[in-house]
C-alpha cells in the first residue's frame, strides 16, 4: 500500500460555488475539512473548521441554493460548520474517483489560502496513478510525496513530506534550532541548493504542523 500527499488547486471558479464564496470572503478563512462523505442520494456532507465572524458564515450559507442544510457554531476562535450540499460536476467527479479506485482519504484535509486543499490518501500505486489520471482538467494536481504506508505514519516526522524531512534534518544539523541559533535560512538554503524563501516557507509549514499535533485541541 502507498501513502500519497498531494495538493489540488482548482481554477478560478473553485471546487464548488458555496466553498468558493468562503475562499473569496476577506473575513473568513477555511482551515480544514475534518469529515467528508457522499451519501446514498449523491449529496455531500462536510464538517469544516474555519475562522471568522459567525454571522458572516451563516449569511454565506443562506445565500446558496446548493446548500441543503447547515449548522455553524463557535468554539473559541474556531468555527465548526456542518454543511450538507448538492455537489456540482467537479466535486462529484472527485468523489467518484476516490470511490472507483478505492482511495482512502485521510482527514483532516488541509485547506490552503489560495483555494486549494492538501490531501493525504492511501491505496496501491497503480490505482493511485489511475485515479490521478481522471482528475478533471480544471484542477491542478501537485504530487508532494508518495511512499510506502506503515502503521506508524501518524508519527510526527513521518507526517512530513520527503522535502520537509530533508530541510528539517539539515536545519537541525546546521544548528538552526540551537540556542543561540547557529544557522539561518541562507545557510540551510546553500546546503540544499534552494532559495532562502523556500526554506523559510517549508520550516513554517513544518512548525505549524508539529504544533497542531502537540497542542491540546
pLDDT digits (tens, 9 = 90+) for 84-97: 999 999 999 999 99
Which of 1 and 99 is assigned the larger pLDDT? Answer: 99
Confirm if 193 and 180 have CB atoms less than 8 A apart.
no
Contacts from 36-44 at CB under 8 Å and sequence distance 24+? 36/105, 36/107, 36/109, 38/87, 38/95, 38/99, 42/87, 42/92, 43/68, 43/84, 43/85, 43/86, 43/87, 44/84, 44/85, 44/86, 44/87, 44/91, 44/95
pLDDT at 216: 63
pLDDT at 214: 59
pLDDT digits (tens, 9 = 90+) for 140-196: 999 888 877 665 555 667 677 878 888 988 998 898 888 788 899 999 999 999 999
Amino acid at each position: 500500500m502507498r501513502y500519497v500527499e498531494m495538493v489540488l488547486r482548482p481554477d478560478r471558479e473553485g471546487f464548488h460555488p458555496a466553498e468558493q464564496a468562503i475562499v473569496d470572503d476577506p473575513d473568513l478563512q477555511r482551515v480544514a475539512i475534518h469529515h467528508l462523505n457522499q451519501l446514498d442520494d449523491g449529496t455531500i456532507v462536510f464538517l469544516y473548521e474555519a475562522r471568522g465572524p459567525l454571522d458572516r458564515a451563516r449569511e454565506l450559507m443562506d445565500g446558496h441554493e446548493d446548500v441543503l442544510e447547515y449548522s455553524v457554531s463557535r468554539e473559541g476562535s474556531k468555527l465548526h460548520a456542518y454543511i450538507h450540499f448538492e455537489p456540482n460536476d467537479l466535486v462529484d467527479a472527485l468523489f467518484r474517483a476516490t470511490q472507483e479506485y478505492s482511495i482512502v482519504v485521510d482527514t483532516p484535509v488541509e485547506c490552503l489560502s489560495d483555494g486549494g486543499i492538501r490531501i493525504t490518501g492511501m491505496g496501491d500505486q497503480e490505482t493511485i496513478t489511475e485515479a490521478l489520471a481522471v482528475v478533471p482538467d480544471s484542477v491542478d494536481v501537485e504530487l508532494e510525496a508518495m511512499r510506502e504506508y506503515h502503521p506508524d505514519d501518524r508519527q510526527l516526522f513521518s507526517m512530513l513530506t520527503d522535502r520537509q524531512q530533508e530541510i528539517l534534518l539539515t536545519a537541525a544539523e546546521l544548528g538552526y534550532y540551537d540556542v543561540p541559533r547557529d544557522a539561518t535560512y541562507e545557510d540551510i538554503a546553500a546546503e540544499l541548493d534552494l532559495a532562502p524563501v523556500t526554506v523559510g516557507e517549508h520550516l513554517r509549514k513544518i512548525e505549524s504542523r508539529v504544533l497542531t499535533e502537540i497542542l491540546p485541541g
